[in-house]
Amino acid sequence: MAAAGGVALGLGLSSSSFLSGSYKRSSLKPKSSNSAFGGRRRKESAAGSTTTRAAAWPLPDDLFLAVGVGLPCTVMECGDIIYRSTLPRSDGLTVTPPGLALALATVSYLWATPGVAPGFFDMFVLAFLERLFRPSFRRDDFVLGKKLGEGAFGVVYKASLADPKAASKPKQGDLVLKKATEYGAVEIWMNERVRRACASSCAEFVYGFLEKKSQGKGRGEYWLIWRFEGEETLADLMLSKEFPYNVETKILGEVQDLPKGLERENSIIQTIMRQLLFALDGLHSTGIVHRDMKPQNVIFSEGSRTFKIIDLGAATDLRVGINYIPKEFLLDPRYAAPEQYIMSTQTPSAPSAPVATALSPVLWQMNLPDRFDMYSVGLIFLQMAFPTLRPDSSLIQFNRQLKRCEYDLNAWRASVEPRASQELRRGFELLDLDEGIGWELLTSMVRYKARQRTSAKAALAHPYFNREGLLGLSVMQNLRLQFFRATQKDYSEAAKWVIKLMARSGTQTDGGFTEAQLQQMREIKPRKGSTQRNALASILRLQRKIVSTLNESMDDLNRQRKSLWWSRWIPREE
Ligand SMILES: Nc1ncnc2c1ncn2[C@@H]1O[C@H](COP(=O)(O)OP(=O)(O)OP(=O)(O)O)[C@@H](O)[C@H]1O
């Protein structure tokens, strides 16, 4: 009966692995050379097209038992059933070109911005560990100092620890405390995410907690704690007449031994821009879009001598779909890009966090949401170069002018340059240094179409940040510049040109398109009166309605699911 037991165990295994098991060769001796088990033939089509194979044993009472299912030997390697040496080796992986391509594609997808694999690691390992070792604080642990600011999302104070000697509390030094009135939990999540993914991009976050209301009624308040980075924001520094020289000493620790002038100012602005883009690239690479980039939200960190980003209250984490609501409208009109939404309005609200993470590279590539911040940084660059555009009123006026020029900076320049003031002309001169490389970078950021704007990573690789300017570019850097220029071109103009060309040369006999046909291609409108067309239109309308209803119900479901998911991460009341 040992054989019967063995057969039962062997169900579903291929005959090769089956035979390398506990059978003794003698007990399996076939009666004929082409039948593995003698007595019965395998149920296998001659062409090998069937995948079902029956194997049976003669048992003592001529009883046949057990059926195995496996691939036919025409498909898989079975080897000679008697001599093991002829069986295929089971020593591991065979690398094939399609397999390798598939593996590479999978790895690139998992690591493409904003990063599916790092996202899962962050969500299920790092965030979990951080929660275990999180220190605990209460509002009473701090003494509030002067008010630093009050915005739409809360009140910010300078603060210090009530008992600096207390164990398990953060190191000495001043802190910043924010009592969040809105989106407190989201801001805590964002800051914790940034601390794990790109700590140097933003002000150092210490902790966030939920404090019960003193009377025990209501939801309680969220408090956020950061290390105090410094007294001045970029906005404060830009207000000074000394800008950008007032930043030079802060960044370098000393004044450069150079005469004051455009070259020196340009190199200081370059350093500020590099630091800003570096910080922003850190956020974008991890799937966070700030949505409120402005000089007021860039603080100079005295400790690291760099500019850091603050105020993640309006930020959105597209890796896990947190605070991402397509219909939401959150922006500062002075610095906001012309598009109202960072994601297409056709995109439904993000699904549950793990699903959102898995799909995030697709959504990111479809919408390029980071380009919203790039427009704002472009405006900061513009304000640094043109002192006249620094006051709010001038920036608002500039925005109006740019809108009139259809967001084309070159058109704006052409309209203002002939009657420009001395100060405005100086700004153009600064950006025109090194064959206009600064102007080129600026125009690649401030564009109407998000897709045509450069990313923070590409901007950092721009030759503007090369110290010696264009003349000092190596062959590789020159190639990179050519590539950058090629990717920045507006190909819609080229498409229009091709269409025009086709119209001119096209005739029906030549097989080309006539002007009338092209017009039809441009605006395909349904003709009236066709019953077939009307029926098709009704079906399409119905289909659209079903899809939008489904999306809305999915959104509702996801909102409920997400609120459950959220409760795991939001700090509980202390
Ligand atoms: N880590 C920090 N170190 C030093 N100062 C800080 C820090 N964080 C915030 N500040 C100061 O507090 C001010 C307000 O901070 P923040 O912008 O985060 O608050 P807010 O309530 O969201 O304000 P708003 O809505 O106006 O942007 C900042 O302008 C800055 O001067």
Which ipTM was obtained for this model? 0.96
The rounded Å distance from CA 75 to ligand 1 centre is: 67
- Number of residues assigned to the chain: 574
According to DSSP, residue 27 is labeled G
The pLDDT, as a whole number, for residue 255 is: 75
Q: Which residues of 234-260 are buried (b: 16+ CB within 10 A; e: fewer)?
A: bbbbbeeeebbebbbebbeeeeeeeee
Question: Which one, of 306, 294, 20, lies nearest residue 151 by Cα?
Answer: 294
Write out the two tokens for 495.
């498409």
Say if pTM beats, i.e. exceeds, 0.80. no
Tell me the three-class secondary structure of 270-338, residue by residue: HHHHHHHHHHHHHHHHCCEECCCCCHHHEEEECCCCEEEECCCCCCEECCCCECCCCCCCCCCCCCCCC
Quickly list H helices, 57-183: 97-111, 116-121, 127-132
Q: Which residues of 360-397 are buried (b: 16+ CB within 10 A; e: fewer)?
A: bbebbeebbbbbbbbbbbbbbbbbbbbbbbbeeeebee
Taking the C-alpha atoms of residue 280 and residue 277, their distance in angstroms, rounded to an integer, is 5
Q: Which residues of 267-303 are buried (b: 16+ CB within 10 A; e: fewer)?
A: ebbbbbbbbbbbbbbbbbbbbbbbbbbbbbbbbbbee
Name the class of domain 131-373.
mainly alpha
Check residue 161 and give left, alpha or beta (phi > 0: left; psi -120 to 50: alpha).
beta
The rounded Å distance from CA 48 to ligand 1 centre is: 73
Q: Ligand 1 pocket by C-beta < 6 Å: which residues?
A: 148-154, 156, 176, 203, 226, 228-230, 233, 296-297, 299, 310-311, 313
Helix axes 475-488, 422-445, angle to 10 degrees: 80
Which atom of ligand 1 is nearest to 308's Cα? 1
Quickly list H helices, 157-261: 184-197, 234-239, 245-252
Q: What residue type is assigned to position 563 of the chain?
A: S
The rounded Å distance from CA 184 to ligand 1 centre is: 14
Binding residues: 178
**Residue whose CA is closest, atom 27 of ligand 1?**
151
The pLDDT, as a whole number, for residue 216 is: 58
Q: What is the helix (H) or strand (E) element at residue 124, kind and residue range?
A: none
Write out the two tokens for 321.
């779909």
Q: What residue type is assigned to position 364 of the chain?
A: W
Helix axes 515-522, 491-505, angle to 10 degrees: 140
Check residue 56 and give left, alpha or beta (phi > 0: left; psi -120 to 50: alpha).
beta
Question: Which one, of 321, 358, 319, lies nearest residue 554 by Cα?
Answer: 321
Helix, coil or strand: residue 225: strand
Annotation says 281 is catalytic: no
Which residues of the chain fall short of a pLDDT of 50? 1-57, 469-471, 499, 501-515, 518-519, 521-528, 557, 560-561, 564-568, 570, 572-574
Q: Which of 122, 292, 311, 370 is catalytic?
A: 292
Give the CA distances from residue 71 to residues 12, 13, 15, in Å, rounded to whole numbers and listed in that order.
10, 9, 9
Say if residues 179 and 150 touch (Cβ distance below 8 Å): no
Backbone phi and psi for residue 573, each to the nearest 5 degrees, phi listed first: -65, 135
Taking the C-alpha atoms of residue 427 and residue 525, their distance in angstroms, rounded to an integer, is 48
Which atom of ligand 1 is nearest to 152's Cα? 25
Which atom of ligand 1 is nearest to 236's Cα? 31
The pLDDT, as a whole number, for residue 171 is: 57
For CA atoms 250, 252, 257, 260, give the dihedral sign: negative
Say if residues 438 and 430 touch (Cβ distance below 8 Å): yes
Backbone phi and psi for residue 148, each to the nearest 5 degrees, phi listed first: -95, -25
Question: Which one, of 225, 90, 87, lies nearest residue 156 by Cα?
Answer: 225
The pLDDT, as a whole number, for residue 398 is: 96
Which atom of ligand 1 is nearest to 154's Cα? 21
Binding residues for ATP: 178
The pLDDT, as a whole number, for residue 512 is: 46
The pLDDT, as a whole number, for residue 183 is: 76
Say if residues 56 and 39 touch (Cβ distance below 8 Å): yes
Long-range contacts of 76-85 (CB under 8 A, 24+ apart): 76/14, 77/16, 78/14, 78/15, 78/16, 79/16, 81/15, 81/19, 81/28, 81/30, 81/36, 82/25, 82/30, 84/19, 84/20
Taking the C-alpha atoms of residue 422 and residue 237, their distance in angstroms, rounded to an integer, is 22
The pLDDT, as a whole number, for residue 156 is: 93
The rounded Å distance from CA 237 to ligand 1 centre is: 15
Say if residues 550 and 341 touch (Cβ distance below 8 Å): no
The pLDDT, as a whole number, for residue 254 is: 75
Number of C-alpha atoms within 13 angstroms, CB side, residue 318?
A: 29
Taking the C-alpha atoms of residue 4 and residue 535, their distance in angstroms, rounded to an integer, is 66
The pLDDT, as a whole number, for residue 30 is: 42
* Domain coordinates in residue numbering, the chain: 1-80, 131-373, 499-523, 531-563
**Residue whose CA is closest, atom 23 of ligand 1?**
151
